[in-house]
Homo-oligomer: A and B are copies of this chain.
Amino acid sequence: MEIKNKQQGIMIVADVLDIVGGKWRGQILAHLCDDPKRFNELKTVLNKITSSTLTKELRYLEDIKMVERKIIQDKPIVIEYKLTDHGMSIKDLIVHIVEWGQKHRDSVFKKDE
């Protein structure tokens, strides 16, 4: 499939990159592709993110219906974050991103030499 309607296509590129871009959003989504995770699990696995940043990013992803906050137990309260059905669709895209990155890591990710 080709990119039809150039102008519209390019606007969509920017829109999608809004969702997945930034320092953390893509990583959060990638981690949630594997399985649902609790707040502090995400915090641990996303090395160095702060609580306030993680909260902000999760709220954003909830707002756009990519991620769902689910109370899975109260007393003591346990909350998990998972991709919505719709959010699951991002998995394929993330696979494509990783594939491209793996193929091209040598040419692109070298800072030295």
A48 interface residue (CB < 8 Å to B)? no
Residue in contact with A15 in the complex, picked from B16, B86, B95, B101, CB distance below 8 Å: B101
User: 5 A-B Cβ contacts within 8 A?
Assistant: A12-B102, A16-B98, A65-B107, A66-B108, A93-B100
Point out the residues of chain B lying under 8 angstroms from A64, CB to CB.
108
Check A96 for interface membership: any CB of B closer than 8 A: yes
- Chain A residues with a Cβ closer than 8 Å to the other chain, count: 46
- Measured CB to CB, the residues of A under 8 A from B are 1-3, 6, 9-10, 12-17, 19-23, 26-27, 30-31, 33-34, 64-66, 86, 89-90, 92-105, 107-109
A17-B15 contact, Cβ under 8 Å, with A94-B3, A100-B90, A108-B65: no
